Structure 1
């Protein structure tokens, strides 16, 4: 029988002791971690300042479900309809986060605040790093200065000045659609609407088109914008759980993060090239107003502010309008009575396409009703970037400083407390009492809750431009064509994910040129 080596035995015993010590240490660490997490959950459920606000208990205990489903999975927004219907206008959706129905959020959080009142500031970095230097999330004083400077670019006078340019691109869209209609092609209307709105906003911002309509394809930068939106959502998740960043990037693709970086680089290069041309290159564009000195002789926007605002103007001025238009063509054809009435309104209002312009389309009441109803059923921004409470009462209850507050247009506009028959497309709810299709059943709708372009002093500065573009594009297309959507697309909207805005898929339609005798 082999005897153990007496010199090796102490080494083996020492190794066993070391292994036991490591195992004990790891076990204690795990136990402490579990106890710590349980303690945090108990605090959030029973002692947190938001403990009395209604909502699912598991959401109050941890922010992981909200963060994962809203920023990675993209299906969170749809659940907000059910949560508000079950728990009311104020719902606790995470340990330090409340969701507010717009009927409460718009007047109490987003409305103008007096000089002596603390602002419900926007969350820094929600859209992209450094967004607090752009108009969309700047502090109050900076936002006021930037908005005052940019307001001239979106005035009624500027809109009239830009009308020939806008009409040019819409005519180009109609020409391209006509070619494909003659060949009886299925057309992805989402793509062509994006081509149009991006070409318009590129020319309005930088004095140069993206030439998507000319080339019948997306400009490379535009493609990065779509991925940037998803990449920004991933970034919001990483901000809360940086330790899992490598795993998430590996599983969802580093390309999305790369696109975000490419987008930032390209937008800066584009802005710098336009700035080099100076404030008065000839025709005035948005950059003209950003580069101008103020009335008091001070510099307009700084170089960094211009670089930060440029991608905001491009994205907000194109993607959201194209989204609304895509939703319009989907919902209108699903409602035959609305389709018939609108086509008659447009075709009886104009003798030829030359009569269709920004001013003439503004008087079409049923068209405006259809646009408003589209924005209600399919708001381009399904979620408004959140605000931070300075500490104060909301809906009669105190909300502590630092609480994150969100308003979801999607759930607000689908709330039966705000809108009768909320899940149906009913343009007549927006018609004046003098209109023959006015329906008294919708007279009690809470129209003050309808804010598709946000609310207060930080609402969308370009909403007049958006409405004008939508009226013109719709009128030109429906004056020229009838259309139907391809089969198996009834779930086009219900299948979409949301990352602040909708992640749209193709919407295939078939256009049929109408004869002028129709």
Structure 2
């Protein structure tokens, strides 16, 4: 180990020493969006890192399964209050709901949205938006500065989920302009991260909460009014294959889902499905642009399987082994949500270490998925590890959809959207980097939630395939 390596290691250890003594250091990193890189260095410190006087990051597969499992069930902390779409006392939706019994009841209500039969009914809405995505990429694909694939992936993901939530898409793909519902989401992630920092300091927390409510009021009122109007319009229209049609059935036995609960849950689904799905698509296409041999193999698989562009269905694309491997590997390299959610220990042993009651704990998904303990060549994009039956990597250490009873309920739909988008784009285009020096891993930041990325410029060279000849 050279002097530079020793200096870097000492600097990292100094950072963690400061963090362990003060909440301030750790949460300044959150505000700066640097937690991702901080956690990627976890292997230099060990699987257990104190990131604050009362907060531990425990990154081992066994720990992650314990923290997010249900025996015992570790509860979410007050950090999740920052993600509630309404004031205290108003239903807050699946993601921020801290009461495990209420969460379990709501999850049962929304589970039918993602049953196989319901997904088949929803596919037409997804396919329509994929068509618009490919059309827009074809139109802009060879712009001198490239296409910001992250913008178009966010437009696609938000249009699909809004169609399924409200019965009609936001229209971002068609207009080429991000809908006002989606535009402030990243700002909310940053503000929520700052709230998580400030809540640990009583005076700062109360002041920030006041400012957050005051200055976030315009966004909140606009989203509330729009969502209410869309739900009212949808309820007045004929039944269709969407979430409202699947879950809102007044008069039936079971949990009573009132309009406030419906609005809160649709709000959360749009947020979650937009940022995570779009980032997974962005990451997959970025890594394929950087790894031309992988792109060539995927192109051959897709083009040999489908005689036509429009012949690609959710069921057929799910059966393509290399497509699945590319997507799994992209989400291993950059999990759409790099850190697991915060939980509170009831006083228990986690992976052989006793964690006192009241201690906040979480697992770093990106530390797990980039760990040499679980993956050979962990920093190398290598889809073959997922396609080779003899590969010995511990695949379970990649958790892009989390694990346990609060894992991502929308996983089946997310995979359909990702597979169809990647398959149809690779079928139609050869993808290259617009800027050979662009590094998505170093440019992406996060603030305790999904990644926040700058424009991701790619070039899409048409393969000369006419969609109309099918």
For Structure 1 versus Structure 2, the TM-score category normalised by the shorter chain is: 0.7 to 0.9
Which blocks of at least 5 consecutive residues in structure 1 are unaligned?
A: 1-54, 434-439
**Within 5 Å, which residues of 2 pair with 1:16-415?**
56-70=16-30, 72-83=31-42, 85-113=43-71, 117=72, 119-126=73-80, 128=82, 130=84, 133-138=92-97, 139-181=99-141, 186-241=146-201, 243-244=203-204, 260-276=216-232, 277-278=234-235, 281-293=238-250, 297-415=253-371
TM-score when scaled to structure 2?
0.88
| Aligned residue number for residue 459 of structure 1 | 407
In 1, Cα distance between equivalents of 2:269 and 2:347: 32
Is the 8 Å Cα contact of residues 279 and 288 (structure 1) preserved in structure 2? Answer: no
Tell which structure's C-alpha radius of gyration is larger: 1
CA separation of 1:359/1:452 partners in 2, compared to 1, >3 Å: closer, same or farther? same
**SS of the counterpart of 2:224?**
helix
In 1, Cα distance between equivalents of 2:397 and 2:338: 14
In 1, Cα distance between equivalents of 2:277 and 2:20: 36
CA separation of 1:127/1:329 partners in 2, compared to 1, >3 Å: closer, same or farther? farther
Q: Does 1:481 pair with 2:429?
A: yes
1:513 to 444, 458, 462: 462
CA shift at 1:63, angstroms?
1.1
CA shift at 1:136, angstroms?
1.3
CA shift at 1:515, angstroms?
3.3
More off after superposition, 508-517 vs 344-353: 508-517
In 2, Cα distance between equivalents of 1:246 and 1:278: 39
CA shift at 1:156, angstroms?
0.8
TM-score when scaled to structure 1?
0.80
In 1, Cα distance between equivalents of 2:63 and 2:81: 20
Q: Which one has more relative contact order, counting CA pairs under 8 Å at least 6 apart?
A: 2
**SS of the counterpart of 1:77?**
helix
Q: Displaced runs of 4+ in structure 1, greater than 6 A?
A: 182-185, 245-249, 256-259
Is the 8 Å Cα contact of residues 340 and 365 (structure 2) preserved in structure 1? Answer: yes
1:472 to 407, 420, 441: 420
Number of equivalent positions: 444
**SS of the counterpart of 1:419?**
coil
CA separation of 1:310/1:260 partners in 2, compared to 1, >3 Å: closer, same or farther? farther
RMSD over aligned CA atoms reads 2.6
CA separation of 1:125/1:82 partners in 2, compared to 1, >3 Å: closer, same or farther? closer
Is the 8 Å Cα contact of residues 105 and 255 (structure 2) preserved in structure 1? Answer: no
CA shift at 1:432, angstroms?
4.3
CA shift at 1:507, angstroms?
1.1
CA shift at 1:57, angstroms?
3.4
Is the 8 Å Cα contact of residues 274 and 287 (structure 1) preserved in structure 2? Answer: no
In 1, Cα distance between equivalents of 2:145 and 2:25: 43
Which blocks of at least 5 consecutive residues in structure 2 are unaligned?
A: 1-14, 86-90
**SS of the counterpart of 1:152?**
helix
